[in-house]
Amino acid sequence: AQSVAQPEDQVNVAEGNPLTVKCTYSVSGNPYLFWYVQYPNRGLQFLLKYITGDNLVKGSYGFEAEFNKSQTSFHLKKPSALVSDSALYFCAVREEHSGNTPLVFGKGTRLSVIA
Amino acid sequence: DARVTQTPRHKVTEMGQEVTMRCQPILGHNTVFWYRQTMMQGLELLAYFRNRAPLDDSGMPKDRFSAEMPDATLATLKIQPSEPRDSAVYFCASGINTEAFFGQGTRLTVV
């Protein structure tokens, strides 16, 4: 069975500082990994994905994530946080070659960027 | 700008009433998902369809929930009868290859 763990319910960071939101996963085969962001009263917006290739994936709004197979991690990062990055972030996984099967989501991490 | 459209955005209803939520997936997407979001459980998969055929609805309470795709442009999620514990945000998402694209959600409150 696939699963995702986001070990931090809340991450606080000062504006301008780098941010990291952690995610680890479990799948029986190779993973497809995703990050989504949810702003208040909105749906989930796709940020970035890892399918294959370069372990460092760049996405929307200056975010990037690094796939680490040995640590089964896919942490989300941004070099310089903005107050507008404050939102709920979800990591998700699907097994490679499983077709367009449902994503399995983590519980979410609330990011708060303080001015 | 292609997007998943959900209606209504908000619904307040009394316990025991029927609730119908609708979703228009992105044109050309062959897979539709229904998720429910609550504070306690996070995002839970309720059901999903591919090419309008239901593939998995094991996440739904079968006695009160039903999901259908009458055509490729409409997916529905019904609750009958509704209960206060059904209060949540219900999201529809559609996809064709890898990532899924989410609608804005229907916030359901059952009183």
How many angstroms separate the CA atoms of A62 and A95, rounded?
26
Residue A99 has pLDDT above 80, yes or no: no
Secondary structure percentages of chain B, helix, strand, coil, to 5? 5, 55, 40
Hey, is B30 helix, strand or coil? coil
Could you read off the pLDDT of B61-105 as tens digits, one per residue? Answer: 889 999 999 999 999 999 999 999 999 999 999 998 788 999 999
The pLDDT, as a whole number, for residue A91 is: 98
Query: Cβ separation of A43 and B102 shorter than 8 Å?
Result: yes
Query: Cβ separation of A108 and B42 shorter than 8 Å?
Result: yes
Contact A89, A111 (CB under 8 A): yes
Query: A107 at the B interface (CB within 8 A)?
Result: yes
The pLDDT, as a whole number, for residue B2 is: 80
B4 contact residues in A (CB cutoff 8 A): 43
Give B42 to chain A, closest Cα distance, Å. 5
In this predicted model, which residue has the larger pLDDT, A41 or A107? A107
Query: B26 at the A interface (CB within 8 A)?
Result: no
The pLDDT, as a whole number, for residue B10 is: 97
Most A CBs within 10 Å, among B98, B106, B109, to test the A interface: B98
